[in-house]
Chains A and B, each alone.
Chain A
Amino acid sequence: MSAGWPLWEVFVRPRRGLAHTHAGSLHAPDAAMALRNARDLYTRRQEGVSVWVVPSDAVVASGDELDPAPDKPYRHPTYYSVPDGAPHL
């Protein structure tokens, strides 16, 4: 079905003072149409005050280097016993 339009990532800023957050992705032939499609798909009900579209292949994503090292359990705070009287520690 798809004519092979490139994929775009959509970022919506919900309110002034907040950062743009990823809303989803869509297909569009170019940037101008991507913005318009984003309006239809992600901001139809006034979800945002501004929209960014970024070609998906311009996004560099992290790999598994962010995974916690399973052989270093001391990095996780699991060896402490919580003293009585400090319930919110």
Chain B
Amino acid sequence: MSADLALYALGLGDDALIAAQRLGELYASSPEMEEDVALANIALDQLGAARLLLGYAAELTGAGDEDTLAFLRGPAEFRNHVLVELPNGDFAVTVAKLLFLAAWQRPLYARLAASGDERLAGIAATAGLETAYHLDHATQWTVRLGDGTPESHRRMQDAIDRLWPYTRELFVADPVARRLPGIAADPDRAEWTGTVEAALAEATLRVPGEAGVPAGLDGRAGRHTEHLTELLDEMQRLHRAHPGARW
């Protein structure tokens, strides 16, 4: 069971770590300085959750630590959902990605706060509080861009449409979670849909039709896009050049 629990914590931790890395890339290049600070804060929240989850996963397997897991794995060993590894692109894409992720993380962490595993419950309780702010921030921007100028509306709708197929993966039954009754939690698709559709409605945006996960991809099984390889090249560069480097 502890191997499954480690794998489960790893999946959640990888989602947070890769999301943090993508948001961190925007540091000093957001549309405005105030937005730089907001996105950096969110990136740090995600990084904090990632450290706790990866640290716990490493403890459970008895091999290595959070750094080993972050810096010494290749793309096929990462368990994050494909959604979080997609490139930043337009600011609207970053906003849509954050909306989809936070609407998923928030209720999931809320359920995991009551997990039968005390450590996981504690981590989820802490991280869950922060995701409320992430969701609010993403919602505020979705509404402003969607219900803004014709240009911002078009770009926000384009981002929603482009990312929509990748959200399907967030609700594909996870075999690892299945083996952890009372400890893992199922993401609540109805709540996610309600949250996202309410934001899109306020933003005068159209909800895209049903779409499948893009062929061949399954983040939780380690099947990623080439974007993850590029992201890891950047994220792991220092550690590869100076193994065991410490700040």
Interface residues of A (CB under 8 A from B): 1-3, 5, 26-30, 32-33, 36-37, 40-41, 44
Contact = CB atoms under 8 A, between A and B. Distances in A.
Given A33-B140, A36-B137, A37-B38, A27 B31 contact: no
A41 B34 contact: yes
Interface residues of B, number: 11
A40 B32 contact: no
Given A32-B140, A33-B140, A36-B136, A3 B37 contact: no
Contact of B32 (A3, A36, A44): A3
B245 interface: no
15 contacts: A3-B31, A5-B34, A26-B34, A27-B32, A28-B34, A29-B144, A30-B144, A33-B144, A36-B140, A37-B37, A37-B38, A40-B41, A41-B34, A41-B37, A44-B41
Contact of A27 (B33, B38, B41, B140): B33
Contacts, number: 31
Contact of A1 (B32, B38, B144): B32
A3 to B, nearest CB: 7
A89 B38 CA distance: 52
A44 B133 CA distance: 12
Contacts of B33: 1, 27
A30 B34 CA distance: 13
Contacts of B144: 29-30, 33
Given A3-B32, A33-B144, 10 more contacts: A26-B34, A27-B32, A30-B144, A32-B140, A36-B137, A36-B140, A37-B34, A37-B37, A40-B34, A40-B41
